[in-house]
Chains A and B, each alone.
Chain A
Amino acid sequence: MLVEESEDTEKPERSKERVNVKGKRRYSREEKRKGKLLVESALDSKDESLVDGSVSDVELLAQEVNLSDEKPSKKNNRRTSQGRMERFRDTARQNASRFAHFNTQEEDDNILSMEAESEIPSEELEEKGVEDWPGSFSTAMKIIRDRAANLNVRQGSSSSDKVQSLQIKWVPQKCKRKDWSKRLPPSLLDLSLRVLVDNADAIASLAHVPDALRHKLCHMLCDSRRMNSNFFDLLLNGSPTEIRLKDCSWLTEEQFTQCFEKCDTTNLTILQLDFCGHCFADYNLPSTLARSPNSLPALTTLSLTGAYRLSDAGLSALVSSAPALRSVNLSQCSFLTHSAIDILATSLASVLLELFIDDCQSIDAMLVLPSLKKLEHLEVLSVAGLESVTDSFIKEFLIARGDGIKELILMDCWKLTDSSLKIIAETCSNLRALDIGNISKLTDTSFGYLASGCRSLQSLKLCHNAFSDDAIAAFLEMSGEVLKELALNNVGKVGLNTALSLARRSRNLVSLDLSWCRNLTDEAMGLIVDSCLSLRVLKLFGCSQITDVFLYGHSNAKVEIIGLKLSPFLEHIKTPAQGPFQYSSV
């Protein structure tokens, strides 16, 4: 989150400079910007068809910079110079966001790209040209581009503003307004849950309450910060089978030790204690979780995120008391090193299905590689936020274990490039879910690989990536039928092509995140929502360009739109009831 802070401090400085300075100084910076833009666009995509917007922006800037050279010549009337000031300000506003995001990684990038090139043999690095993409993807790209080109030809000359070359035909339905005000009554289950959460202290016992309902109660109590040790006691009473606490930050060490000491853990299969750093350290393990070897005989799923005081030795004790572990989540356990993963690999090599080591900053990916390769049946691997994850790590790991991997979470692994995606496409034939958010080096070539390689991909999550509208549209044309979950959060270039492809292809799409995609209009949204009949969740945070025309005009009664109007707090991170594992059964 350090990166975000530096973004925030950079932004006001730059905007101040822009606002204050109105003379020559601004023009010379704009010239510099012009230069920077051209360089960026050359590097960004090797294909010539830049998204229409950026081309016209560059041209616009070029014109303005030429005009600016004339400005210092005094004889201009005030009126025209005022007009020009307005335009400069508008252009600056348009381009502000591009420069406001300060990227600390850009400097490291230059050093790293040189390292990377020396590591990976050069044949692999020869970026295939645009037209060399795997067969059907390039055909798909051509179709998308022709779509736009044909319409451009028909329309003739366009204005210098962003070219909306595609028209989406969607008409909001009228006179259905009344139906939307007829809200569904809350279910009896929800009503009772709410009463229970309000009166949690009065609950005497949770006996006979099924696990799914216990989890719902815990979830709601944690969200409203009403969770306390009394309820925790109730949960641990009897011989519990599943305990899921998404937030243990309220739990003190004494309470944890007291409650857990008397707990009968012989039937415990799922234990989730997220954000447990405060209550959990090596020294209270022996009395609570690691009482003896095999004290947790039935435990298959363990999640101890945020256990920042857990050391390698502590983990070793845990693993010896839970020999049947198959899913382990150790995210944000910053004290663990690669030896911890060695311990896991030694004891659980033949059984471990899922491993999450997000943000474990003391774990070096390359040192962990040999242990990871030992895990024979690994299905889910999450290394989000680990800076040491590089292309060679991905390559070596997936060549060994790629065919069994079903879910790969690589968010924030910013050193990865297109060559990793190539490896993923070639080795992970069973991949169902992929998260490549915040990896800014990926280009449209990655989509070419994904489209040809991972045919069973059901969930794809992007965030802040630099993919173009055409590439995403082409990917959807090819693989959209199978897709159930798609996140295009802050993928700024998403536009009408993507909307059209979504509408045509995504029959099975259940969850869609289009937050901050500001190029999508009401018509585009309406088309998407009315055509994707399986759609149940649509996230639109930051899409202030969407108006009531869409919100009250679409005809999909089952979709829930989150992020625009007031929606209940934390609604967007509801987790559905989960079994012990994501992909296998016990």
Chain B
Amino acid sequence: MKKEDTVKLISAEGMEFVIDKEAAMVSQTIRNMLTSPGGFAEAEHGEVTFPEISAVILEKICQYFYWSLQYSSYNFVGGKETEFHIEPELTLELMMAANYLHT
């Protein structure tokens, strides 16, 4: 993956997740940070920090991004839809993170 196409998401513990920009844009919040013409530091460095989201949750969120892209991709018509499984223990925090990220 080329550097320009990727974004780094940093969790509360400091763990870094490098994902495609297109995947990250599934989140409205991240999309606004990266594309708005305000000169956000995030946009310049391509890094976004989430001091309130733990690594486990952030990992799940990144999985969701990719699942979401796959779901809406053109090849999907006629294919079997996979379900996005969420472990019940994570769900409460995941819900709050998803709410914050507008995804």
Residues of A participating in the B interface, judged by any CB pair closer than 8 Å: 178, 181-185, 187-189, 191-193, 195-196, 199, 202-203, 208-210, 212-213
Complex CA distance for A210 and B96, rounded to whole angstroms? 8
Partner of B95, one of A182, A192, A202: A192
B103 CB contacts on chain A under 8 angstroms: 187-189
Complex CA distance for A115 and B76, rounded to whole angstroms? 69
Complex CA distance for A189 and B71, rounded to whole angstroms? 16
Partner of B99, one of A191, A195, A213: A213
Q: A188-B103, A191-B84, A192-B86 are in contact. Are A213 and B72 (CB under 8 A)?
A: no
- List the A residue with the shortest CB-CB distance to B88: A199
Residues of B participating in the A interface, judged by any CB pair closer than 8 Å: 61, 64, 67-68, 71-72, 74, 76-77, 84, 86, 88, 91-92, 94-96, 98-99, 101, 103
A195 CB contacts on chain B under 8 angstroms: 86, 88, 91
B61 CB contacts on chain A under 8 angstroms: 188
CB distance from A389 to the nearest CB of B (A): 42
Chain A interface, DSSP helix/strand/loop, else mixed:
helix
B98 CB contacts on chain A under 8 angstroms: 187-189, 192
Partner of A182, one of B68, B72, B92: B72
Query: B77 to A192, Cβ gap below 8 A?
Result: no
Query: A189 to B91, Cβ gap below 8 A?
Result: no
Query: A184 to B72, Cβ gap below 8 A?
Result: yes
Query: B72 to A209, Cβ gap below 8 A?
Result: no
Query: A192 to B74, Cβ gap below 8 A?
Result: no
The CB with the most chain A CB atoms within 10 A, among B61, B68, B99, B103, is that of B99
CB distance from A174 to the nearest CB of B (A): 18
Complex CA distance for A193 and B64, rounded to whole angstroms? 15
Given pairs A191-B86, A196-B92, A199-B91, 9 additional interface contacts (CB within 8 A): A181-B77, A187-B98, A187-B103, A188-B68, A189-B95, A192-B92, A192-B95, A193-B95, A210-B96
Complex CA distance for A182 and B73, rounded to whole angstroms? 8
Partner of B96, one of A181, A182, A183, A208: A208
Complex CA distance for A210 and B99, rounded to whole angstroms? 10
Complex CA distance for A213 and B68, rounded to whole angstroms? 22
B67 CB contacts on chain A under 8 angstroms: 185
A185 CB contacts on chain B under 8 angstroms: 67-68, 71-72
CB distance from B96 to the nearest CB of A (A): 6
B84 CB contacts on chain A under 8 angstroms: 191
Query: B88 to A182, Cβ gap below 8 A?
Result: no
Query: B72 to A192, Cβ gap below 8 A?
Result: no
Q: Which 9 interchain pairs have the tightest Cβ spacing?
A: A192-B95, A185-B71, A188-B98, A189-B98, A185-B68, A195-B91, A192-B94, A188-B64, A188-B103
Complex CA distance for A208 and B96, rounded to whole angstroms? 9
A191 CB contacts on chain B under 8 angstroms: 64, 84, 86
B74 CB contacts on chain A under 8 angstroms: 182
Complex CA distance for A202 and B92, rounded to whole angstroms? 11
- List the B residue with the shortest CB-CB distance to A181: B77
A178 CB contacts on chain B under 8 angstroms: 77
